[in-house]
Amino acid sequence: MNRRVVVTGVGLVTPLGYEVETVWKRLLNGESGVDRITLFDASNFQTQIAAEVKDWNIGMIGEDPADWAHTDRHTCFAVGAAQYAMKDSGLLDQDFDHTRLGVYTGAGEGRQDFGLFAKMMIAGLREDGSLDYGRFVQRGMEILDPVRELEQEPNMPAAYIAARFQALGPNVNCLTACAASAQAVGEAVEIIRRSEADLMIAGGAHSMIHPFGVTGFNLLTALSTHNDFPEKASCPFDKNRSGFILGEGAAMLVLEDLDHAKARGAKIYGEITGYGSTSDAYRITDIHPEGRGAISCMQMAIESAGLKPEDIDYINAHGTSTSVNDRVESLAIRKTFGEYADKVPVSSTKSMTGHLIAAAGASELIYCLFAIRDQILPPTINYETPDPVCDLDYIPNQARKAKCDTVLTNSFGFGGQDISLVVQRYRP
């Protein structure tokens, strides 16, 4: 029989802050973390706004920032969120078997050093504009730091977290774009259910607010260009939506076998009961127009939890604020839930946080746990003009008190990866 898996610790580093209760309060107040880009000069970019993490550094968890000066931004976020989650769980003050603690992250690649790359390009350029690879490589050998290059590997956040907490169990990273941290949580749950670990630190981290990241998404026409009104630019499901807002940050959860949690007297936020993972098997950048992957993913998560669609009290949508995603996700919810789709409330917290890419799913799962705890649903802000093709209850602009014991949360990634999780109020 599969073991029950509960959440006993949570940690965040986000554009709305890094103290979980503060982030939750700001979400309920409908506050936006979107502003002008400050991490680089974006004045000549099509998109000049993003949701940056501000007023946080690694020193806030007791580290010397100088020792982490060459560590990638997203890795620092990941370690910070993991520290907060482990402290919240109470494990830092308790003895436990470290061989039964694992790490599963959904994290992206590190930031590129554009200055060094430019120097390599200049050294390698011939007069006719072609590239002399010999000179390019020679200059790279002279100026690149091999350790710094290693820091860009996607598994670095998991490695740093494992070293910090002596997590000697499974250590895995998945990079499935916007679905990554939700997938990491789902797979970590399965590891515990299979008795391969008793505890897992699971979640994700990403930071793509750099010239290549913004340029790439602009080329896909995926980002909003409403630069004059940053706080209004992310408007999921609204008829005037024009693209998502690039965010950054990290979210980590401590997942635990229920019996292990009870034995040590841990507080329990909720129980993860359902996990669905499917593929659109369609285009790399587009969700299937009929939502087939999203539909099967939600159905799988609900069925694996032993539930029916009408048992879901709230849906935390992927809700990116792109024209295609919001339309197709709305269609998929309607096909999955049938007549009940008109009754189940749906919202997108990305309207406030921006899209944290690999960290999005885990952060949104934490918001779902707090919705269950407080019996209040976060809103979709900036919802002003209804769209006929998005015809659900999106909890517009104001948080809503409501019965909330069972929640479905969606994460859909570029490449067609679809993840849904079901989390419920813990019942002994």
Kindly report the backbone phi and psi dihedral angles of residue 413, in degrees, each rounded to the nearest multiple of 5, phi listed first. -105, 155
CA distance 166 to 174: 20
Question: What are 172's strand-pairing partners?
Answer: 104
CA-closest candidate to residue 272, choices 401, 172, 167, 362 = 362
- Please say if 355 is a catalytic residue: yes
CA-closest candidate to residue 254, choices 272, 242, 231, 232 = 272
- Please say if 76 is a catalytic residue: no
H helices present in 246-342, as ranges: 258-263, 292-304, 323-337
CA-closest candidate to residue 54, choices 77, 86, 20 = 77
Find out whether 111 and 76 touch, Cβ atoms under 8 Å: no
Residue 71 DSSP code: S
Active-site pick, 74, 76, 174, 178: 178
CA distance 318 to 324: 12
CA distance 102 to 79: 14
Cβ neighbours for 388, distance < 8 A, ≥ 6 positions apart:
none
- Please say if 210 is a catalytic residue: no
Kindly report the backbone phi and psi dihedral angles of residue 307, in degrees, each rounded to the nearest multiple of 5, phi listed first. -120, 175
Active-site pick, 226, 318, 368, 404: 318
Q: Which of the residues are catalytic?
A: 178, 318, 355
